[in-house]
Amino acid sequence: MKRNMTDLTSRQKIILSLIVHEHTRTAQPVASKTLIEDYGLQISSATVRNEMNTLTELGLIRQPHTSAGRVPTEEGYRFFVSNLVQQTALPIATRNTITHQFYQSRRGLDHWLPLAASVLANQSQAVSLVTAPHSEKIAFKHIELISTRGSQVLMVLVLVGGEIRQQILALDEVYSQESLSRMANQFNQDLENKSVRQIEALEASADPLTQQILAAILDQMHLTEELVTGELFLDGLSNVLSTPEFAATNQDHSPLRLLEERPMLNDLFSRTVLTEDIGGVQVLIGGEGTWQDLRDCAVILTRYGIQDQLSGMLGILGPMRMPYGHAISAVHFVADLLSDLITDTLID
């Protein structure tokens, strides 16, 4: 079933590449004549047709109907991406512009993540997805208790890795800001770098007030732990709204549904990228049998961040007919950029 490099002659590879390229450009079936005319091949259209026949038998391309040109199949795209695609690095000027946007007045993740999504969307002309980085292991870093009104207190919790969580606590009596700060300092000394387990062990043998706060801390840590990924940033919806692949022709089965269904999205993330080391880019073509809604789409995903410590995911979702070389390069580039930024500002 699975083809490898050696199954195809180099001429067949060239023809497959050209079909992919041309079909990406025009969204139309590609004719044998178009190929020799537009790309100046030194062979006749009949020869191309013969080769096309072979490729069709191999399941790499197909004809929408008897007398139409050829279109790459899912298999065909997979073969292309695995063996033939060549990454087309972003122009140096573009890279500089983008890098500059990220580094100007170092504003932190709040700024970088939407920017990453925006850059990806622009570069790929597809929908981009970026998740906030998430710690591999949840541990306490710092707590702050801020008196607000009456006995109500704002708890700000910083976890190792830099994730910040907040919660309003209703304490039993009113405490001054001084005593709240003292309490927070105590927690900061006692809990630094401690894991959920270790903190749970302390919970039992504490006075009621401490217990209440510990419970809140643990609550937030649990919530964070349960997340597969951090917050999700999207961009580039308008890039794909008008493409036929995303139009909701089939009743309400649009690939865009996926973006609103966190369970599905998490599933996608878990099954593909979470298993990979940082640095590898995964390309999913046509839903891979699992995601019906992605039948005509491709997803390019990768992980960024710091191996075994703090990582997020980013990638794009576009029509299967996509400029893979450019898209993969763009994903790589943005991932590396974010990884660098996070390494520079890691909170540990």
Residues forming the site for its own copies (CB under 8 A): 106-108, 110, 141-142, 144, 146, 148-149, 152, 154, 156, 158, 162, 164-168, 177, 181, 185, 188, 223, 235-238, 241-242, 247-248, 251-252, 254, 256-257, 259-260, 345-348
Q: Residue 146, SS3? A: strand
CA 85 and chain centroid, separation: 21
Binder of residue 67, out of DNA, its own copies, none (CB less than 5 to 8 A by kind): DNA
Residue nearer to DNA on the CB measure, 321 or 332: 321
Is 285 in a helix, a strand, or coil? strand
Backbone φ and ψ for 155, nearest 5 degrees, come out as -100, 125
Integer Cα distance of 266 and 14 in angstroms: 37
Phi-psi domain of 238 (left: phi exceeds 0; alpha: psi -120 through 50; beta: other): alpha
Closest CB 168 distance from its own copies, rounded Å:
5
Residue 53 binds which of its own copies, DNA, none (CB < 5-8 A, kind-dependent):
DNA
Q: Beta 127-131 vs 310-319: how paired, if at all?
A: antiparallel
Instruction: State whether residue 224 is helix, strand or coil.
Output: helix
Q: Interface with DNA includes 44 (CB under 7 A)?
A: yes
For residue 249, state whether it binds DNA (rule: CB under 7 A). Answer: no
In a 3-state reduction of DSSP, which class is residue 273?
A: coil
The entry of its own copies, DNA, none that residue 226 binds, CB within 5 to 8 Å by partner kind: none
**Residue placing its CB nearer to its own copies in the complex, 240 or 314:** 240
Give whichever of 5 and 248 is closer to its own copies, judged by the CB atom. 248
Closer of 44 and 148 to its own copies (Cβ):
148
The DSSP symbol for 30 reads B
* Length of the chain in terms of residues written: 348
Which of 12, 17, 47, 167 is the binder for DNA (CB under 7 A)? 47
Cβ closer to DNA: 30 or 335? 30
Q: Are strands 140-149 and 310-319 parallel, antiparallel or unpaired?
A: unpaired
Query: Is 302 in contact with 282 (CB distance < 8 Å)?
Result: yes
Among residues 12, 17, 56, 181, the one that binds DNA under rule CB under 7 A = 56
Q: Which of 3, 13, 38, 43 binds DNA (CB under 7 A)?
A: 43
What's at 348, amino acid-wise?
D
By rule CB under 7 A, what count of residues binds DNA?
24
d(Cα 262, Cα 297) in Å, to the nearest integer? 18
46 binding partner (options DNA, its own copies, none; Cβ < 5 to 8 Å by kind): DNA
Instruction: List interacting residues with DNA (CB under 7 A).
Output: 29-34, 42-47, 49-50, 52-53, 56, 63, 65-70
